[in-house]
Every structure is written in structure tokens, then in C-alpha cells.
Structure 1
Amino acid sequence: MSTLVWIIGASLLGGILSLLFAAVLTLNTSAAWVSMLVSYAIGALLGAAFLNTLPEAFEISEDPTQVTAMVLAGILLFFILEKLVLWRHCHMEQCEAHDPLHGYTAVTATNEHDYGRSGSMIILGDTFHNFVDGILIATAFMADIQLGIITSIAIIAHEIPQEAGDFIILLNSGYTRRRALLLNILSSFATLAGGILAYFMLHKLDHLILPLLGLATASMIYVAMSDLIPGLHKRPEIGATIQQVTLILLGISSIWMVNNFFAHAH
């Protein structure tokens, strides 16, 4: 079997399996559970950013300042993009930015969505991340088939908790379950695109890995800290706080355990 077939198969299988597992974990949950599992999503995002994509970027770059500058620029970029999404929404209909009472009523009454802002940001960041995953899969298979298989399994495994977190964020942003699944499927095709492009022109894509990892890291940190964590402060009681911290730690731990397991496998 040719290297290209291995790359295509692993890229497709990775996207399909991670989406299936994430869908099973999240699509049958009730609205109340989605709201509660936002804490887990925060942990999965922060774990993926600080334990996965950021260390990968540091390994590639010889200058740590270059990496942190890219993440900083990415956070500013996502702030501007979110402003544009909010501006578009506010010009289409009444919103909390122009009517404080309307915003207060909507948020306190439903506590369900943020007008799609965090969902838009996370899909964009996930697409960058998936594209980089495709490049990493292709690079590993071109070096050695066995290394490619191990790398693909590791990528699929770390994508499952992250994809589950993405589903929860999309549902929390007001997306329907069907639309959330469709957007994640479309985003997963970036893995295939990255893999095929890397096979034919890896030397030309090398310089893209670092900025894409920086953008993926920035999106995860920005969505977790800016869009999701403020919502947790609406429930300041001790019981809710303990539940939130526990689920955040669970999200971080799931990423850490997968990374640690496959680090030893290598």
C-alpha cells in the first residue's frame, strides 16, 4: 500500500472516529447537561492548548518569543473577529450591546447561547488545528509507516475529548445538534487537506505549521477564557463552583492522560 493511501486513510479515519466518539458522548445529552459540561469543555480546551499545541509549537521553533508573539497576535485576531460577529448580529437585530436590559433578560432567562460567537471562533481554530494534524500525519508516514500509524492513533485519541468539548461549545452557542455535527464534519476535512498537501509539497508547508499551531492555541485559550469562563461566574454558589472546578480538571486530565500515554508509546 502506497504512502499516499496510508495518509488519506489515516486522515479520513481520524476525523470520522473522533467525530463519532465525540457525537456519542455529547449528542444525547440534555440542555441542562450541555450547560454543565461547558466546564469540561473549558478544561479540554485549556488542556489541548497548554499540553498539546503550545508544546508542539515550542518544539518546532528555536525562539520561544516567536511562539508567544504568534499566540498573542492570534488572541488579538480572535478578539477582532468576535467583534465583527457581534457587530453583524447587532446590525441585524436587537442585542445586548445596544440594549442592556434585553441582554440581561436573554442571558438570565435562557443561559443557553452567546449568539454563536464562541462557536464561530472554535470552528475556525479547530480547522487550523486539523490542518496541522494532517501535515503531522503525512510527515510521520513519509518518514516511517509504523511511526505514521502510532502518530495517527495519538492524534485520533487526543481529538476525541477536544471534539467533545467543541460539540458542547457549539450547542451552548445556540447551534442545533445537526448543524453542530455538520460543522465539525466540514472542519475535520482540513485534516485530509493538510495530509494530501503535505505529501505533495511538504517543503513548502513547513513554514505554515508554526503560525497555524499559534492560531489554534490562541483560539482555544481565547474561547475558554473570554467566552466560556465568564458564564460560570453566573453561578457563584459553593456547590456549583466545586462542580465547575471538578469538570475543568476532568477536561484537562483527559488531554493529559492521552498525551502521556502516547508519549510513552513513542
Structure 2
Amino acid sequence: MTNNISYEVIDTPSQLPGWLGAAFGSSLVGLAGMLPCLFLSDVKTRPLMYRFLLSFAVGGLLGDTFLQILPESYSRCGNNQSQVGLGILLGLFVCLFIETFSHSPQGSGYSNLLANSVDNLNHGLSIGSAFSVSTKVGILTTVCILLHEIPHEIGDFALLLESGFTSTQAAKAQFGTAAVGVCGAILALGADSIESLSLWILPFTAGGFLNIALVSSLPGILASSKSKEDSVITAF
């Protein structure tokens, strides 16, 4: 008598490295925001360096918006370009609403954290999608995003300090945005398609960054640039 026994092949172990790689990569990118807390915690006691970092932050946000986020948004949207415009306006007005109606002097910092959380979500989606293709593609994507993100996070740290956060509060806030990136990576690996989500995430982030740079930060920097030295730093 022959027993017909069928065995079900479980492919979870083969998928495990992808999940681990995506989680590690997105965590690494998110935790890049902790580096400025280690080396620049006393930056407010150095006025020249502090003004330089604020100017650097504004330039980084504008460069990130116009040279990376918006071109990528328009390349993905196809004929639906009005969606990009709506996303930009949505991000801009949501951050403006937070700053206007927040009863805390840290309102601009909260809008910055919101925009950064959405940006980290997009990074997590990219890393998760890359690791779903192969480990090699995932590692390359993580390295590229990490190299781009480190200078961006330095500027973010300066903006949080300017809005009234202490170094410890800024570190905790940056850690929170890192968790959003991990969620994005998990979402990318578990979802069938993330393209429609990215079409809204990218322009929303662009709108938030524009508000932070041009509305929250730049006026204060220009107002404090009284000497020739300050003007040179701002222009840089």
C-alpha cells in the first residue's frame, strides 16, 4: 500500500534576506539623522557655524525639491501632471496649517518632521522595492540614498534647533522619522503596487520642503544677515 503524501514547499526562508535587508537599509538611512546629534549638539554656541548650517539647510531643501523630487514626480506622473501640482499645494498648506495653528513655538519644527517623515517613507518604499528585485540592487539603492541623506539630515538638525528643539528632543524626533522609513520598506515588500502611493508622496514632500525653506527659514536668515560676513554665509 502506497501512501501519497504531498509536501508543500515553503519559500519564506528565501524571502527572509530581502525582508532583513530592507529593514536594515531603511533603518540605516533613517538613523543617519542621528549623526548630527552626536557631532553638532553644541552648534548653537557657535553662531557662525550655526548660521552656516541654517543656510545650508535651506539650500539643501531647495536643491532636493527642484533637482530631485519634482523631476522624479513629473517623470512618473505621465499625463496626469495636475496631480503633482495638487500634491505640492497639499504639502505646502498642511505644513503651513501646522505652523499657523500650533500653540507651541516649535510649530515649524513639527512641519519639518512631517515633511521628513513623508520623505523617509518614500526612501523606505524605494529601498523595499529594490530589495524585492535583488540584494545587490537593494544595497546599491541604500548606499545612494544614504550618501544623499547625510547632508540633508545635518540641515534638518539645524532647522529643528532653530524652531526651539533641544539637542535631545531633536535626536528623539529624528529617531521617530527613521521608524517611518522602516514602515515604508515593509509596505513596499508586502504591497503589490506602490506606484500610485508614490505619485502623492513625492509632490507632498516637495510642498512641505518649499514651505519649510521659503516660509519658515529663509526670512529669519535674511533678517539676521546684517554684516557682510553674514551675507556671504547666506549666499553660500
Q: Which residue of 1 aligns with 2:17?
A: 2
Residue of structure 1 in register with 2:187 after alignment: 197
TM-score between the two structures when normalised by the length of structure 1: 0.76
Aligned partners of 1:46, 1:202: CA distance in 2, in Å? 33
Question: Which residue in the other structure is 2:214 paired with?
Answer: 225
Q: Are the counterparts in 2 of residues 25 and 164 from structure 1 also a CA contact under 8 Å?
A: no
Aligned residues of 1:22 and 1:161 also touching (Cα < 8 A): no
Compared with structure 1, are the counterparts of its residues 84 and 20 closer, same or farther at alpha carbon in structure 2 (3 Å cutoff)? closer
Per-residue deviation, 1:25: 4.5
Q: Is 1:11 matched with 2:11?
A: no
Q: Which residue identity is paired with 1:42?
A: V
- Give the match for residue 76 of structure 1: 93
2:8 equivalent in structure 1: none
In the TM superposition, what is the alpha-carbon distance from 1:77 to its structure 2 partner? Answer: 2.4
| Displacement after TM superposition at 1:20 (Å) | 4.0
Corresponding residue number in structure 2 for 1:30: 44
Give the CA deviation at 1:21. 3.2
Match of residue 170 from structure 1: 160
1:140 aligns with 130
1:183 alignment counterpart = 173
Show the counterpart of 2:119. Answer: 129
Q: For 1:90-129, list aligned pairs within 5 A.
A: 115-129=105-119
| 1: CA distance, partners of 2:35 / 2:71 | 25
Moved more, 177-186 or 155-164: 155-164
Decide whether aligned partners of structure 1 residues 45 and 57 sit closer, same or farther in structure 2, where only a CA change above 3 A counts. Answer: same
Task: For residue 61 of structure 1, report the CA deviation from its aligned partner.
Answer: 1.0
1:149 to 136, 139, 146: 139
Q: Which one is further off, 219-228 or 26-35? A: 26-35
User: CA shift at 1:37, angstroms?
Assistant: 1.9
Match of 1:97 in 2: none
Instruction: Tell which deviates more after alignment, 170-179 or 25-34.
Output: 25-34
Q: What TM-score do you get using the length of structure 2 for normalisation? A: 0.85
How far apart, CA to CA, are the structure 2 residues paired with 1:150 and 1:11? Answer: 12
2:60 pairs with 1:44: yes
Match of 1:54 in 2: 70
Residues 91-137 of structure 1 deviation map (CA, whole Å, 9 limit, x = unaligned): xxxxxxxxxxxxxxxxxxxxxxxx21221111000000101111110
1:209 to 198, 214, 223: 198
Amino acid at match of 2:147: A
Q: Which runs of 4+ in 1 moved over 4 A?
A: none
Distance in 2, Cα, partners of 1:196 & 1:187: 15
Q: Give the letter aligned to residue 222 of structure 1.
A: N
Distance 1:148 1:196 in 2: 13
- CA-to-partner distance for each residue in 1:14-61, whole Å, 9 max, x for gaps? 222x12433345324233232442111111111121122222212221
Percent identity over the alignment is 26
- How far residue 194 of structure 1 moved from its aligned partner, in angstroms, is 0.5
Question: What stretches of structure 2 of length at least 5 have no aligned partner?
Answer: 1-15
Query: Which has the greater radius of gyration?
Result: 2
Q: Which runs of 5+ in 1 are unaligned?
A: 90-114, 247-266
Name the aligned partner's letter for residue 218 of structure 2.
Answer: I
How many angstroms apart in 2 are the aligned matches of 1:78 and 1:223? 8
Once the two structures are overlaid, the 10-residue window that deviates more, 146-155 or 73-82, is 73-82
**In structure 1, what is the Cα distance between the partners aligned to 2:36 and 2:71?**
24
User: Kindly tell me: are residues 35 and 57 of structure 1, through their superposed partners in 2, closer, same or farther at Cα, counting changes over 3 Å?
Assistant: same
Distance verdict in 2 for CA 1:30–1:83, change over 3 Å: closer
Amino acid at match of 1:227: S
CA RMSD of aligned residues (A): 1.8
